[in-house]
């Protein structure tokens, strides 16, 4: 048993001074109690505030290799789709060794920026020509191993991929993402699940996965209560193609395939319309926004006001890992919404004054729910996943116990303020 004694602890009751956080040998929070004379403390943490670690709901680790390398002209008219060609070229080059190396690197960066769990939306599965490796989950295993070695908690979201788009078979570059059949995909998902690795399932998109696969994969998700994640409505072209092929929009198609429910997280929903948002709300589904990536790729700005109005839980993802900073993701979710709607406090429903605690919940608690994890709060019974904030950091100068979450979300970068990161009761990163 450990007893951590920072200056402040951020609990569901707010920021509390003079507390001891007790952590079991298994890395679970046992209790948060007021410190009294003579109480056993194993770790004095002066000048630090302990906050829950962030949950990164959507990552493609290998895309870290593209950072800074896709900004020059790729075509006459650069869009998401021209960026995608560069990403495919990068995906083609990956080997089990190189995907391990880059994942290990990016997971280390995530820990340094305060993410303690990550949902890895993993879609590079097979050899470049599409033939499976001797071990069909070799690349997924390499990513999981990278997470273990770095010290971050990885939830492997095993991606299903079947075709190029609504009308086309996979291109040569997409072959290694694809399983030969639905059965082959589900066998790989089942092997992962019974191995005990935290996992979920993730049809890539309605473009890449046909309706009969969506139905079967949603069934499988319900059978084992596994998170079900899917990209949808990131680009208008996807919506137009879906309307043409299926006579409905992507989120409507998910509903038609019984793939919308409380286990569902729709990634992006950038161009979701009113009816799609109603369907998400009725289903109890979550939306994961990825503001730095959506900005980098020119996707658009999510309909934040309507999503918040519909009480849809939001989470954040670093997606292409072009930036790793949960404060920046949260800030840009709110800032881009302010620019879209030309008003302030868009992500904050009426009746809530301070925005910071709710933005934090998007980055922690709601993310944990979307990945099926018992973490995201400093409370008994949850995993001991923490960040330790340096209360003397110049960026925080002038903070008060009432406004620390606001000062962090609107005034700080992760690398200015985070001194330590803890996962499952273990300090896995410190500066
Ligand atoms: Zn993505």
In this prediction, residue 5 carries a pLDDT of 98
Active site residues: 268, 319
pLDDT digits (tens, 9 = 90+) for 121-172: 999 999 999 999 999 999 999 999 999 999 999 999 999 999 999 999 999 9
**Burial of 36 (C-beta count, 10 Å sphere; 0-12/13-18/19+):** exposed
Identify the domain boundary among 338, 370, 402: 370
d(CA 188, ligand 1 centre) in Å: 21
Identify the domain boundary among 370, 389, 414: 370
Residues 153 and 288 occupy one common structural domain: yes
d(CA 122, ligand 1 centre) in Å: 9
Domain encompassing residue 38 = 2-52+377-430
In this prediction, residue 307 carries a pLDDT of 98
Place of tokens 């400093």: 378
d(CA 319, ligand 1 centre) in Å: 5
d(CA 364, ligand 1 centre) in Å: 19
Residues 6 and 126 occupy one common structural domain: no
Task: Please give the Cα distance from 96 to 190 (Å, whole number).
Answer: 21
Residues 132 and 243 occupy one common structural domain: yes
Residues 334 and 302 occupy one common structural domain: yes
Residues 401 and 347 occupy one common structural domain: no
Residues 287 and 382 occupy one common structural domain: no
Residues 421 and 282 occupy one common structural domain: no
Looking up residue 44, the CATH number of its domain turns out to be: 2.30.40.10
In this prediction, residue 160 carries a pLDDT of 98
Residues 254 and 335 occupy one common structural domain: yes
Residues 159 and 286 occupy one common structural domain: yes
Residues 300 and 403 occupy one common structural domain: no
pLDDT digits (tens, 9 = 90+) for 217-243: 999 999 999 999 999 999 999 999 999
**What is the number of structural domains in the chain?**
2
d(CA 352, ligand 1 centre) in Å: 31
- The average confidence (pLDDT) of the chain is 96
d(CA 229, ligand 1 centre) in Å: 10
Per-10-residue mean pLDDT, the chain, length 431: 97 96 98 94 97 98 89 84 87 94 98 98 96 96 98 98 96 96 98 97 98 98 98 96 98 98 98 98 98 94 97 98 97 97 94 94 98 98 98 97 96 98 98 95
Residues 159 and 69 occupy one common structural domain: yes
Helix axes 138-150, 96-112, angle to 10 degrees: 30
pLDDT digits (tens, 9 = 90+) for 57-100: 999 999 998 888 888 888 888 888 888 888 888 889 999 999 99
Residues 123 and 166 occupy one common structural domain: yes
């Amino acid at each position: 048993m450990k007893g951590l004694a920072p200056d402040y602890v951020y609990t569901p009751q707010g920021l509390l001074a003079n507390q001891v956080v007790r952590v079991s040998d298994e890395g679970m929070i046992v209790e948060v109690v007021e410190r009294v004379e003579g109480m056993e403390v194993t770790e004095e943490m002066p000048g630090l505030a302990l906050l829950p670690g962030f949950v990164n709901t959507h990552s493609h680790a290998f895309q870290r290799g593209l950072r800074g390398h896709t900004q020059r002209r790729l075509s006459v008219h650069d869009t998401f789709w021209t960026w995608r060609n560069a990403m495919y070229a990068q995906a083609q080059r990956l080997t089990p060794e190189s995907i391990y190396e880059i994942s290990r690197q990016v997971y280390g960066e995530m820990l340094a920026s305060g993410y303690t769990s990550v949902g890895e939306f993993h879609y590079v599965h097979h050899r470049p020509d599409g033939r499976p490796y001797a071990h069909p989950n070799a690349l997924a295993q390499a990513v999981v191993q990278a997470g273990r070695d770095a010290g971050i908690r990885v939830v492997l979201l095993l991606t299903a991929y079947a075709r190029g788009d609504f009308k086309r078979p996979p291109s040569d570059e997409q072959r290694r993402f694809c399983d030969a059949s639905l059965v082959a995909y589900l066998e790989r998902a089942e092997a992962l699940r019974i191995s005990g690795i935290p996992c979920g399932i993730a049809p890539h998109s309605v473009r890449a996965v046909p309706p009969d696969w969506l139905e079967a994969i949603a069934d499988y998700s319900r059978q084992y209560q596994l998170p079900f994640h899917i990209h949808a409505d990131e680009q208008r072209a996807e919506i137009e193609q879906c309307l043409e092929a299926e006579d409905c929009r992507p989120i409507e198609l998910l509903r038609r395939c019984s793939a919308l429910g409380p286990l569902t997280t729709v990634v992006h929903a950038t161009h979701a319309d009113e009816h799609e948002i109603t369907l998400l709300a009725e289903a109890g589904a979550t939306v994961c926004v990825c503001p730095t990536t959506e900005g980098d790729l020119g996707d658009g700005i999510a309909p934040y006001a309507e999503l918040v109005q519909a009480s849809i839980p939001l989470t954040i993802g670093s997606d292409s890992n072009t930036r790793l900073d949960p404060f920046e993701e949260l800030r840009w979710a709110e800032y881009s919404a302010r620019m879209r709607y030309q008003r302030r406090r868009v992500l904050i429903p009426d009746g809530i004054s301070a925005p910071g605690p709710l933005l934090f919940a998007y980055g922690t608690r709601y993310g944990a729910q979307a990945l099926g994890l018992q973490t995201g709060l400093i409370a008994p019974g949850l995993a001991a996943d923490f960040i330790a904030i340096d209360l003397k950091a110049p960026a925080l100068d002038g903070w008060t116990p009432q406004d620390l979450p606001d000062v962090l979300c609107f005034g700080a970068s992760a690398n200015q303020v985070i001194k330590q990161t803890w996962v499952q009761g273990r300090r896995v990163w410190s500066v």
